[in-house]
Structure 1
Amino acid sequence: MLAAAVREVVGMSDADRDELTDMLRALVRPAWVLSAVDDRDAGEPGEIGRSRIGGLPDLPRDWRWPTARPQPDAGGSADDAEVSLAFIAQIDLAEAPGVADAGWLPSSGRLWFFHNGESEPNHVVLYADVPRHELRTARPPADVLDLVDACFLLDEPHPVDLHRTLFLTADYQTGWHSQGFEALEDALDERFGEDGAGYDLLAEIQDHLIAAAVTEGPWDGMLMGRPTPCPPPEGSCPCGRSAPADAPGYNDVSGPCSWANDSLLALYGYWGDGPLVYTADANVAPRIDGRRFAATEAWIY
């Protein structure tokens, strides 16, 4: 998939394409593009539990709606009652082709994403692996933020399909940049003798990767797999770092191409200021703390 996307780039020799492909292999990871489904209604019988953005979540029958406490600097205090979080998206991992191969996300079950900018924490990512018949469509409590007033255009459900692709570690649409990616951008700028040439080239390659996954219709976001470590075992990274196969901690925060958190879910087109991005700890396999997907953050760019 990566080699095919690089071959689409014009103005490069075959040798240059092969070299660029090899450099990019350390900077890509599994991902799934979320594309809108127009011909299904998420509320129809049989559609309980399918992947969707917005609308109402289908939660296990014994779950309560998730809550969090207001932030003190938002006029609240530690004694304030908890407030409910607004539902953002649910992902059925069984609908993500090849998710077991990613080696990071659970291979089955569902993820539920909630958010509320006025609470602390401002989000939660929930996980459960239960049969569809044990789910129920949950109605939000009265104190949930009005989605329209909060600039969330998610009052209607948007069913989505998941298409497997690859994601460069600094997708230009999320604002997340690894040092390895930026080093490669600078090297390409120098090779082509033009500032911004590397950015444009890598953005073009990412576009080709997405187009190969979603052949028609719009897409609304990406679910991420585990990032490639810096440096890869028995290899070297474009940042210049290398390590033997048994090097401990090669994927820790001190590595020049890894940050403590990495993208988990990025949603586009619903917020005027930029995408809503959820991140998870990139250094360890995700830990499920009770029903919560641990070590996550979320913000709107």
Structure 2
Amino acid sequence: MKHDHAYSKHFKDDISPEKAYDYFHNHQLDTDEFRCAEKCSVPVTLVNVRNTPDKWKVPPYFKYRSGFDDKHSKLCPNISKMTKVSKQRSQHRAIQTYQPSKEIIIELSMNNPTPYEDVGTLQLNSSTGKNKKSYQANSDFPAVKERSTRLSKLSSTVNRFHSHPDDDVSFNGTVAPLNTFFQELRYGSYKLSLEPKIYHGKAFSRKVNTNGKELLLLEFDQKCQLENAYFEKPAVFIDISTLNNTSQQHRKLLRYCQSGEAFHLYFWGSFFVTSHSKIRMNKIDKSDFTLLNSLYFEDWSE
């Protein structure tokens, strides 16, 4: 929560963020320099104090330290302004990552995105998701958290790509241009990677019966290459019973299947080569439900 003034131990008075910046930008700043008020011990942080104006995302401001929402003294003049913020329980989030360069790693959440990015902090995750390292670009000043343009669903990602392919957008706190992780499957761009991307192109679908079970074969039209598989169409089999009749996208897929017409398929993920040298879409946890969240369909147009 932002605070427009704070009590300074040095000045022995309430001061504004501007006055605090003018003085402490060139002087040593103790971690306990500021508190909420003279008669309140809740600590306050001055944000952006070590940055110069040309590097400001926002001007310097005070903010309450987290974890002290209910610790204001009874004599605190600001207690009526405080609202308790409920702590959200951390949940396991299924994510996939794509690394367009050594400096950038993009994470696309299967659930919900992280709502903020840490300015000055770059988080790198290994492809296994087991190791995480954080690097502070400037450890001398508190990290500023600010909202940025972010996308969580594949549908919104695709729509943004259509209108603003060069935009930098945030996926779970990491920023990169959209077009760096889309790959259209077409002649001249048919070599696949083992790394996840948003692959897209012309596709077809049809029903097949395997051991008495009705499946849907979803297949890109472009023949591709991956490892020792050459001139193979990337595909996947989906249990038709997993399609949700209330989903517009699922109804659209069934329509394409029944009519046999081509459509534009977007797939967020990666491929693998089977023992029969076929190229198949990876299913996380071998789940058709999870896979369907990584697919998006549009009418085909040349």
Q: Which TM-score tier does this pair reach, normalised by the shorter chain?
A: under 0.3
Q: Of Structure 1 and Structure 2, which has the larger fraction of its residues in helix?
A: 1
Q: Give the alignment's TM-score, normalised by structure 1.
A: 0.24
Q: Max radius of gyration: which structure?
A: 2
Q: 1 or 2, which has the higher strand percentage?
A: 2
Normalized against structure 2, the TM-score is what?
A: 0.24
Quick one: higher RCO (CA 8 Å, sep 6+), 1 or 2? Answer: 1
